[in-house]
A = this chain, B = another copy of it.
């Protein structure tokens, strides 16, 4: 469908052309074919959207989550990571079946779309069920499948699980008009053994996959790894060949200077999860230093069990504020840095080339935010307003690959009441 968007203030996230006002955007076959001042002569739209009173920006990219954990929202507070995992999470996850994962994923996707998130990187179990949810809802995602942490390893053994994982990666990648990408889950250096780390590195090379890993989340994790291997987790990853692949590393809170250099040299994309890192008492990742030395951090919500939302506007707000406070420096990080983490850098984290920036030939993953709500009035600097003043509920319209997923805050591909009802219902199974 050819779509024409008129009267749009556009935050493109393209460094050459960052903020352009009162623009026309043409979309053909899911791609942006024009952004400019005047409507092109030979463009015949099937649909026209008037974006007066809206700011348009690339859809937000949630670069680290466990989507179906929405079922566990607001169940377990005030616990440190290890206790939280061992006592509150793993016993519940042991009960999960594909129906739970599907319904939890539907809830998480609905919440994300409603808050302006158009893509997510998901590390979870029983991903066959997530594929269905992605297909139906129209969102874009990268699903991370693990060899030993997948549910297949008990049934098939390590060799069988390896084969299953490889098939999953290659069969699912590119589905739904390239809305679905796949990656390899390596849960962490503390949960996965050395052999498995090496196997995952090999599989990543064979399949040209991104590796998605939890890395340097807590001080304990780093200390225990040094006891076990004589090296930090990042150094173990380097030794075993993991870092020869594209790596998206969630958390990276406790990283020394040497590890920071290694991340930069290997092009690791760290994912900042401010809510979760605070909620679990892990600490503050040194994002200002990463930006300073040329690392490109992305931004994520983590799962709802350690957040307890999948709201990228909340994460942007936190990311823009906490480093200023922690460093006693009001310019430690700028609003635009945070927007980049939530868009262009997210595209790197997920391995999609044509999202995260709005310009010609990119895919039309975009969101429209009301600029006339009370909290955005008066409308001064849009970049500041989006980070410090906007809320998820100011998002009005959401589009992925040129398809509208939300308009005037109404979800178009999801029955919201049904999703809420069903998620609540299956969630009760997990806690009885």
Q: Report how far A335 CA is from B279 CA in the complex, Å.
A: 11
Is A389's CB under 8 angstroms from B330's CB?
Answer: no
Nearest chain B residue, comparing its CB with the CB of A379? B424
Q: Contact size class for A?
A: 35 or more
Chain A positions 372 through 392: 1 when the CB is less than 8 Å from some CB of chain B, otherwise 0? 101101111100110011011
Which of A79, A322, A419, A427: most chain B Cβ within 10 A? A322
Chain A positions 300 through 323: 1 when the CB is less than 8 Å from some CB of chain B, otherwise 0? 000000011111001001100110
Question: Which chain A residues in 329-345 approach chain B with CB under 8 Å?
Answer: 329-332, 334-335
Which of A81, A278, A329: most chain B Cβ within 10 A? A278
Q: Which chain B positions have C-beta within 8 A of A63? A: none
Q: Does A283 sit within 8 A of B, measured CB to CB?
A: yes
Q: Does A172 sit within 8 A of B, measured CB to CB?
A: no
Nearest CB of chain B from residue A167's CB, rounded to whole Å: 34
Q: Does A90 sit within 8 A of B, measured CB to CB?
A: no
Q: How many copies does the complex hold?
A: 2
Chain A positions 73 through 106: 1 when the CB is less than 8 Å from some CB of chain B, otherwise 0? 1110111110010000000000000000000000
Q: Does A327 sit within 8 A of B, measured CB to CB?
A: yes
Q: Does A347 sit within 8 A of B, measured CB to CB?
A: no
Q: Does A209 sit within 8 A of B, measured CB to CB?
A: no
Given known contacts A74-B381, A380-B74, A325 and B284 CB-to-CB distance under 8 angstroms? yes
Q: Does A324 sit within 8 A of B, measured CB to CB?
A: yes
Q: Which chain B positions have C-beta within 8 A of A309? A: 375, 388-389
A-B contact pairs, 14 of them (CB 8 A): A73-B377, A74-B378, A74-B381, A75-B384, A107-B374, A110-B374, A111-B375, A307-B388, A308-B384, A310-B375, A318-B318, A322-B325, A326-B326, A391-B392
> Which residues of A approach B to under 8 Å, CB–CB?
70-71, 73-75, 77-81, 84, 107, 110-111, 114-115, 219, 274-275, 277-284, 307-311, 314, 317-318, 321-322, 324-332, 334-335, 372, 374-375, 377-381, 384-385, 388-389, 391-393, 416, 419-420, 423-424, 427-428
